[in-house]
Amino acid sequence: MQELRTLIGKEITLEWRQRYALNGMLLYIVSTVFVCYLSFRLKNSQLTPITWNTLFWIILLFTAVNAVSKSFTQERAGRLLYYYTLASPQGIILSKILYNSVLMLLLSLTGFGFYAFVMGNPVGDLPMYLLTIVLSSIGFASSLTMVAGIASKAENNGALMAILSFPVIIPMLLMVMKLAKNAMDGLDRSASSDEVLVLLALDAIVVTLSLILFPYLWRS
């Protein structure tokens, strides 16, 4: 537990020094929402709930990819070798997953608040929609952190990150979109219980596989 706290503290220190993900992604969210607002305002067209929901998850998806992609790329080879002598691979991947999950939750909830303020809020069941954001943020962060670890072993890690990330998160994204649609329509929460359980299971599976597989990747 002490090792995990130390590693999470290291992630926070690195982010506070560079402030790449937080500042860069907040700027991306604000600018993208503003462009969407201007586009629909100039056309004098009504934003339908389906379009509203689709635009939000497109913004959130690219925010997740860009925010988590730097998890390992900002680590230098010498620093990684130093970590190898001090910490366990399970502790390293778990600390990055936890940190990226908290970062994604912060970005997602902030982005949702700004998006709803600018574009309106047609969500029928707000607590269920917020639960969807929380589960998707954890799932995206967990999946993309492992993908970032794989991509960091390649020379052109940016391109490999983009290629590997989308097939990995597409099944999760489909489930998230279905759950978000139910929340948008304000359906009874019992209709969304299966999707919630599936998302919880997917999050647990991704975290478990990361803990099992990352040590082999770490030693390669």
Report yes or no: 53 and 181 within 8 Å, Cβ to Cβ: yes
Q: Average pLDDT, stretch 196-216?
A: 84
Confidence of residue 45 (pLDDT cuts 50, 70, 90): low
pLDDT tens, 168-189? Answer: 788 888 888 888 888 888 777 7
Contact call for residues 104 and 70 (beta carbons, < 8 A): no
* Domain span at 57: 2-219
Chain segment 66-120, per-residue pLDDT in tens: 777 777 766 655 566 666 667 777 778 888 888 888 888 988 898 898 888 888 8
Separation CA 47–CA 50 (nearest Å): 8
* Residue 88: DSSP 8-state: -
Count of domains in the chain?
Answer: 1
Confidence of residue 220 (pLDDT cuts 50, 70, 90): low
Q: What is the DSSP string of 142-188?
A: HHHHHHHHHHTTSSSHHHHHHHHHHHHHHHHHHHHHHHHHHHHHT--
> What pLDDT does 52 receive?
86
Report the alpha-carbon distance of residue 198 to residue 183 in Å, rounded: 16
Rounded CA separation 218/220 (Å): 6
> Where is average pLDDT lowest: 25-34, 53-62, 76-85, 171-180?
76-85
